[in-house]
């Protein structure tokens, strides 16, 4: 059976079993001793351990993969004059798509009005954690100690170091050529590690989802149905329509193929709710299945995982209007523009881990003059939306990587158009993965 199908079955089985366990726990149907065994041994035992090991193993590969992939990419660019334009183009696309995403979200929320019939009952409080000031975010991009940057997983710092290192390799003559060969070999080996881990994904995905759904109250959706489905609708529309139009418009390539190849990546994003943890799989897919050369993908994918968060911006756009409607505040035109600007910039400072979108939402609400306590209203369904928006975030990274790759002549169209790319046993790369 193909990997995609095995992961899909694991997802459905995990969600079903988790929901069943949740139901059982809430109905009190099982004797206390049985319930205790289910909770302690299964949910907080096996599922928790397997899920955490799975996420840890994914994260394990992030730093080595980004480092070697980007060093290979930037050293092979040779003509370093291309680096600047690639960086500027990528950044513009990332910011523009995020601005489109949040505008779409605002429009949908204003038209649908998810918060107009919600009564403010009870006492809502939310303790906002401080979001980092933008200046610090900018200065923090430049590393003073590469080892520390890697130890702390500071992605932007690693990107800067790797770019510089790769650039130096391509200008260091014979020594540089020897080192480039070493990094190319290392990259092939780390990619192999990603492949091994991907083949174990069904177990990890199953454990993560079973545990999550057994502890999560799905009933919260009923109370927040209008908000939940508005965010969901915009997320789906952005992922399927906006990205497809952009891809078709800028490259002429088939969006259907891209979406089909992204399916396994979505499963990782959905179950981990972290574009950071999903990064190894996104990078492998973009390079090996979508055909973007790693001189572009090695830069665009890690950068995208760190700063491009369209899904998160969509949640923030809908949440802002929802909270304004619940509190009966009329947002002015300038408030909407402020929300678009803040949400777009805040996505740069949003770490690629679960739930951070809520923290930067505080920043957006403050700028729009809305009560930050309103976040407490939507917290109940945030984890579920986080899973979906993370899938949208990684789709954006992949789409822009293909567009930039194509415009730089760094895209192998034959690979992109081959539905079986990365499946045919590629010589010494070992037995193939079947997607």
CA dihedral 282, 287, 288, 291 (to 10 degrees): 130
Residue 423 near residue 290, CB atoms below 8 Å: no
Question: Per residue, what are the HEC states of 324-367?
Answer: HHHCCCCCCHHHHHHHHHHHHHHHHHCCCCCCHHHHHHHHHHHH
Residue listed under structure tokens 């997802």 = 11
Spacing of C-alpha 290 from chain mean position? 17
- In this structure, the number of other CB atoms found within 10 A of the CB of residue 319 comes to 31
* In the complex, minimum distance from the CB of residue 355 to ligand ASP, in angstroms, rounded to a whole number: 5
Binding residue (CB under 6 A) for ligand ASP from 74, 295, 390, 401:
390
- By CB under 6 A, the residues from 115 to 154 that bind ligand ASP are none
Angstrom distance (rounded) from CA 194 to CA 33: 41
Binding mask 298-317 for ligand ASP (x = CB under 6 A): -----------x--x-----
* In the complex, minimum distance from the CB of residue 278 to ligand ASP, in angstroms, rounded to a whole number: 8
Residue listed under structure tokens 């209007």 = 321
Binding residue (CB under 6 A) for ligand ASP from 168, 221, 341, 353:
353
Binding mask 69-108 for ligand ASP (x = CB under 6 A): ----------------------------------------
Position with the least CB separation from ligand ASP = 357
- Contact between 273 and ligand ASP (CB under 6 A)? yes
Residue 228 near residue 381, CB atoms below 8 Å: yes
Binding residue (CB under 6 A) for ligand ASP from 166, 204, 304, 354:
354
- Contact between 13 and ligand ASP (CB under 6 A)? no
Considering the complex, state which of residue 133 and residue 355 has its C-beta at the smaller distance from ligand ASP. Answer: 355
Which is nearest to 278 in space by CA: 266, 295, 290, 291? 266
Angstrom distance (rounded) from CA 163 to CA 149: 14
Considering the complex, state which of residue 159 and residue 169 has its C-beta at the smaller distance from ligand ASP. Answer: 159
- CB-based contacts of 92, cutoff 8 Å, min separation 6: none
- Contact between 267 and ligand ASP (CB under 6 A)? no
Considering the complex, state which of residue 360 and residue 410 has its C-beta at the smaller distance from ligand ASP. Answer: 360
Binding residue (CB under 6 A) for ligand ASP from 118, 389, 400, 416:
389
Residue listed under structure tokens 């009005």 = 113
* In the complex, minimum distance from the CB of residue 273 to ligand ASP, in angstroms, rounded to a whole number: 5
* In the complex, minimum distance from the CB of residue 311 to ligand ASP, in angstroms, rounded to a whole number: 6
Handedness of CA 379, 230, 222, 335 (dihedral sign): positive
- Contact between 352 and ligand ASP (CB under 6 A)? yes
Return the bridge partners of 94, or none. none
Residue 297 near residue 69, CB atoms below 8 Å: yes
Considering the complex, state which of residue 276 and residue 298 has its C-beta at the smaller distance from ligand ASP. Answer: 276
CA 421 to each of CA 3, 131, 289: distance values in angstroms, whole numbers, following the listed order: 14, 41, 5
* In the complex, minimum distance from the CB of residue 275 to ligand ASP, in angstroms, rounded to a whole number: 4
Considering the complex, state which of residue 276 and residue 405 has its C-beta at the smaller distance from ligand ASP. Answer: 276
Binding residue (CB under 6 A) for ligand ASP from 90, 274, 295, 395:
274
* In the complex, minimum distance from the CB of residue 351 to ligand ASP, in angstroms, rounded to a whole number: 7
Q: Which DSSP letter does residue 142 get? A: S
Q: Which stretch binds ligand ASP (CB under 6 A): 64-72, 122-130, 348-356, 412-420?
A: 348-356
Residue 70 near residue 83, CB atoms below 8 Å: no
- Contact between 218 and ligand ASP (CB under 6 A)? no
- Contact between 350 and ligand ASP (CB under 6 A)? yes
Instruction: Give the interface size with ligand ASP as a residue count (CB under 6 A).
Output: 17
- Contact between 410 and ligand ASP (CB under 6 A)? no
Considering the complex, state which of residue 230 and residue 393 has its C-beta at the smaller distance from ligand ASP. Answer: 393
Residue listed under structure tokens 């990094």 = 183
Backbone angles phi, psi at 216, to 5 degrees: -95, 135
Residues near ligand ASP, by CB under 6 A: 273-276, 309, 312, 350, 352-357, 386, 389-390, 393
């Amino acid at each position: 059976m193909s990997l995609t199908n095995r992961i899909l079955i694991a997802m459905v089985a995990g969600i079903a079993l988790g929901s069943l366990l949740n139901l059982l726990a809430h109905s009190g149907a099982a004797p206390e001793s049985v319930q205790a065994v289910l909770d302690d041994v299964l949910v907080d035992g096996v599922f928790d351990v397997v899920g955490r090991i799975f996420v840890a193993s994914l994260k394990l590969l992030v730093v080595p993969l980004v480092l070697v992939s980007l060093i290979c990419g930037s050293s092979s660019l040779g003509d370093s004059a291309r680096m600047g334009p690639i960086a500027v183009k990528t950044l513009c696309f990332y910011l523009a798509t995020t601005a489109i995403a949040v505008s779409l979200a605002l429009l949908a929320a204003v038209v649908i009005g998810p918060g107009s019939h919600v009564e403010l009952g009870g006492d809502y409080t939310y303790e906002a954690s401080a979001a980092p000031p933008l200046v610090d975010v900018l200065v923090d991009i430049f590393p003073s100690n590469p080892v520390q940057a890697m130890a702390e997983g500071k992605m932007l710092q690693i990107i800067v170091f790797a770019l510089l290192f790769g650039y130096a390799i391509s200008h260091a003559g014979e020594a540089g050529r020897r080192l480039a060969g070493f990094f190319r070999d290392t990259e092939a080996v780390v990619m192999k590690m990603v492949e091994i881990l991907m083949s174990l994904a069904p177990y990890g995905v199953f454990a993560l989802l079973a545990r999550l759904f057994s502890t999560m109250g799905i009933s919260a959706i009923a109370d927040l149905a209008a908000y939940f489905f508005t965010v969901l609708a915009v997320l789906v529309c952005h992922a399927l329509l906006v990205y497809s139009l952009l891809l078709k418009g800028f490259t002429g390539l088939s969006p259907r193929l891209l979406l089909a190849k992204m399916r396994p990546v979505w499963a990782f994003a959905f179950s981990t709710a972290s574009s950071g943890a999903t990064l190894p799989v996104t990078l492998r897919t973009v390079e090996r299945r979508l055909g973007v050369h790693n001189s572009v993908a090695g830069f665009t994918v890690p950068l995208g995982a760190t700063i491009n968060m369209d899904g998160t911006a969509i949640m923030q756009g809908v949440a802002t209007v929802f909270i304004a409607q619940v509190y009966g505040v009329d947002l002015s035109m300038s408030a909407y523009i402020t929300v678009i600007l803040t949400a777009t910039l805040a996505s740069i400072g949003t770490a690629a881990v679960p739930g951070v979108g809520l923290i930067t939402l505080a920043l957006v609400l403050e700028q729009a003059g809305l009560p930050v306590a309103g976040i407490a209203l939507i917290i109940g369904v945030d984890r579920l939306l986080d899973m979906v928006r993370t899938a949208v975030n990684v789709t954006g990274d992949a789409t822009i990587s293909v567009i930039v790759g194509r415009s730089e002549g760094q895209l192998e169209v034959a690979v992109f158009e081959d539905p079986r790319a990365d499946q045919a046993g590629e010589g010494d790369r070992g037995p193939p993965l079947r997607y």
